[in-house]
Amino acid sequence: NAGVTQTPKFQVLKTGQSMTLQCAQDMNHNSMYWYRQDPGMGLRLIYYSASEGTTDKGEVPNGYNVSRLNKREFSLRLESAAPSQTSVYFCASSESWTATEAFFGQGTRLTVV
Amino acid sequence: GIQVEQSPPDLILQEGANSTLRCNFSDSVNNLQWFHQNPWGQLINLFYIPSGTKQNGRLSATTVATERYSLLYISSSQTTDSGVYFCAVLGYSTLTFGKGTMLLVSP
C-alpha cells in the first residue's frame, strides 16, 4: 500500500507558467484534499473533494483549479504561476469528510521565480 | 471557521525530558488529529483522537472535547522526536490546522 502519492516532489516554475500537481490514493477513500504550507502558517486548505464528482473551495483557492478525475485521483492546477504560490503542497485523503482520519502525501515543493 | 491555537510555539528539550503540548479549539469538533512533521517535511499521523486518551509507546494524547482542548505528552524525549507537531481539527467539513509547535531535542 503506497497510501497517498504525489508527483512531482520538486518543481521550479517561471512566473506565468502553468503546471498540474498530481495526487493518487490507493485506500479507496471518498474524500481528497489539497493544502499548502507556508513558513509559520501551518497548513491551509486550497480545495477539497468530499466525494467523487464534487469539489469545493477551501480557505485559499485563488489562483488554483482542481479536478477529481476519478475516485483515486485529485489534481491541482496552477494556470499562471505567481511567486506568491511558492510553497509546499500536500495532498490528503480520508474515508469521508466527516469524522475520519486523514492521511497525507509526502508533499511537493514548488518554487516560482 | 474554527480557530485552532497551539502552545507553546517553540520548545527546546534535553534528551530524556518530558513535555506537554497543548491544542485549544474554538468550537465543537468531529475529529482531532495530531501529526509530527519530521525534518524532511513528511507528515506522520500520531493520533486520531476526537475524545478520550490514547497511548502509543512514549507518546500519549488526551482530548477533552467538552472543554475544547487536547494535550500531547512526550515522555523520555529522543533526538528523533525533533520536528513540528501539528494539531488539526475537523469542524463541519474540513480539517483545520494549528500553526504547530516546533520541538528541538538536543543530545
Q: Which residues in chain A have Cβ-Cβ distances shorter than 8 Å to B33?
A: 101-102
Distances (CA, A) of B96 to A56, A59, A67, A84, A102: 15, 10, 22, 21, 12
Smallest CA-to-CA distance from A92 within B14, B64, B33, B74 is with B33
Between A6-15, A34-43, B96-105, the lowest mean confidence (pLDDT) is in A34-43
Looking at residue B68, its pLDDT comes to 96
Looking at residue A17, its pLDDT comes to 97
| pLDDT band, very low/low/confident/very high, at A1 (cuts 50, 70, 90) | low
CB atoms B100 and A42 under 8 Å: yes
The whole-angstrom distance between A89's CA and the closest CA on chain B is 11
Question: Within an 8 Å CB–CB cutoff, is residue A27 touching chain B?
Answer: no
Looking at residue A96, its pLDDT comes to 84
Task: Render each residue's pLDDT in chain B as its tens digit; 107 residues.
Answer: 889 999 999 999 999 999 999 999 998 888 999 999 998 899 999 999 999 999 999 999 999 999 999 999 999 999 999 999 999 998 777 889 999 999 999 99
At residue A26, does pLDDT exceed 90?
Answer: yes
Smallest CA-to-CA distance from B88 within A103, A54, A79 is with A103
The predicted-structure confidence for A76-91, as pLDDT tens digits, reads as follows 999 999 999 999 999 9
Classify burial at A59, counting beta carbons within 10 Å of its beta carbon; exposed 0-12, middle 13-18, buried 19 or more.
Answer: middle
Task: Give me the amino acid identity at B90.
Answer: L
At residue A100, does pLDDT exceed 90?
Answer: no
CB atoms B94 and A42 under 8 Å: no
The β-bridge relationship of strands A108-112 and B69-74 is unpaired
Looking at residue B91, its pLDDT comes to 76
Nearest to B48 among A48, A101, A104 (CB): A101
Question: Within an 8 Å CB–CB cutoff, is residue A57 touching chain B?
Answer: no
Question: Within an 8 Å CB–CB cutoff, is residue A47 touching chain B?
Answer: no
State the best of B7, B85, B89, B93 to mutate against chain A, taking most chain A CBs within 10 Å. Answer: B93
Radius of gyration of chain B from its Cα atoms, rounded to whole angstroms: 13
Q: How many angstroms separate the CA atoms of B3 and B65, rounded?
A: 14
| pLDDT band, very low/low/confident/very high, at A97 (cuts 50, 70, 90) | confident
